[in-house]
Amino acid sequence: MMEQQRLKAFRVLLVDDEAPARRRLHDLLSDDPEISTISEAENGLAAVAAIESEKPDIIFLDVQMPEVDGFGVIDAIGSDLMPLTIFVTAYDQYALKAFEADAVDYLLKPFGDKRFHQAVARAKARLRNSDCKSIGPNVMGLVSKREASGVLWDWLVIKTGGVTKLLMASEIDWIEAAGVYVNLHFQGKECVYRSSLAAVTKRLDPMRFVRIHRSSVVNIRAITHLEPISHGEFEVLLRDGTRLTLSRNFRAEVEKRLGQSL
């Protein structure tokens, strides 16, 4: 009894878009006397909200999920605030080697009960060591690798007023340069993003976004039509009613993306 009282209770969050996968993890953890609460999230967005509100000690995180994947969750929360993370995935191309030498674990599906409990024991040991509560450096190395040149963003992490939101790149209509920042325009709204126009443009799908002016980039799918102005310039009309200018200097690039002459 005294031994039970000395046990520290840990809060666990299960993140997986497949309900059977979450159910199995829940069943494996349900009899553990050191686990106080088990909550679940079925996608990356829900995981971000749950981490911020519930402050779990351990998170079992799927890598491959629609829209926001496991690495996107880490991007959104930030390495300093991430709970100790155990990846659970059927894919080994990102993390297997990186986690082999690190106490933050990686469970490759299908895994057995023994392997699962080894990962849990490792996580508990880390949590009892106050110096090792943050996510491991190897995990952040994976995030950095994912952000390497040539890898595109499906979403942008927006932090404002103490709240972190994820804006899907596909929802952006156009992007406006604002000094060292940019204004992101989407669904009739706008928000500031702390990056230069050039840096953001490099991380967005070039098949979707094209620069039309030194101060603006547009989502090609947001364009309704273009009207010639003069001297090779066009007025670009967007689905939200915005009117922008296609500079003569960027006309050739737009025509290249469209595959047709204007």
Quick check: 150 pLDDT over 70?
no
Number of domain units in the chain: 2
Among 32-36, 96-100, 212-216, the least confident range: 96-100
The pLDDT value recorded for residue 135 is: 55
C-beta of residue 143 within 8 angstroms of C-beta of residue 80: no
Give the residue from 80, 111, 129 where a domain finishes. Answer: 129
84 and 184 within one domain = no
Quick one: which of 76, 75, 69 has its CA closest to 94?
Answer: 69
Long-range contacts of 125-130 (CB under 8 A, 24+ apart): 126/84, 127/8, 127/10, 127/57, 127/58, 127/84, 128/8
Among 3-17, 19-33, 84-98, 160-174, the least confident range: 84-98
160 and 122 within one domain = no
- With bands split at pLDDT 50, 70 and 90, how would you rate the model's confidence at 1? very low
Pairing of strands 106-108, 84-89: parallel
Quick one: which of 66, 77, 76 has its CA closest to 42?
Answer: 66
Residue 232, sorted as left (phi over 0), alpha (psi -120 to 50) or beta, turns out to be left
Where is 232: in which H helix or E strand? Answer: none
**One-character DSSP codes across 61-117:** E-S--SSS-HHHHHHHH-TTTPPEEEEEES--TTTHHHHHTSSS-EEESS--HHHHH
In a domain, 41, yes or no: yes
Question: Cis peptide leading into 110, omega within 30 of 0?
Answer: yes
Segment 170-192 shows an average pLDDT of: 91
181 and 117 within one domain = no
Scan for tokens 């942008």, then name that residue. 156
- What is the domain extent for residue 241? 155-258
Paired residues of 236 in beta bridges = 226, 244
60 and 108 within one domain = yes
Q: Locate the DSSP E strands across the chain.
A: 10-15, 35-41, 58-61, 84-89, 106-108, 155-160, 163-168, 172-178, 181-186, 189-193, 209-213, 216-219, 223-228, 234-238, 243-246
C-beta of residue 53 within 8 angstroms of C-beta of residue 41: no
In a domain, 148, yes or no: no
No. of helices (H) and no. of strands (E), the chain: 9, 15
For position 191, which CATH number holds? 2.40.50.1020
Model pLDDT for residues 136-146, shown as the tens digit of each residue = 555 555 555 55
106 and 187 within one domain = no
In a domain, 147, yes or no: no
159 and 125 within one domain = no
Distance of CA 161 to the CA centre of its chain: 19
Q: Coil, strand or helix: which one is 161?
A: coil
The pLDDT value recorded for residue 129 is: 74
In a domain, 103, yes or no: yes
In a domain, 140, yes or no: no
For position 113, which CATH number holds? 3.40.50.2300
160 and 54 within one domain = no
In a domain, 145, yes or no: no
Q: Amino acid identity, residue 114?
A: K
C-beta of residue 201 within 8 angstroms of C-beta of residue 209: yes
109 and 20 within one domain = yes
Q: What is the spatial distance between Cα 190 and Cα 246, in angstroms, rounded to a whole number?
A: 21
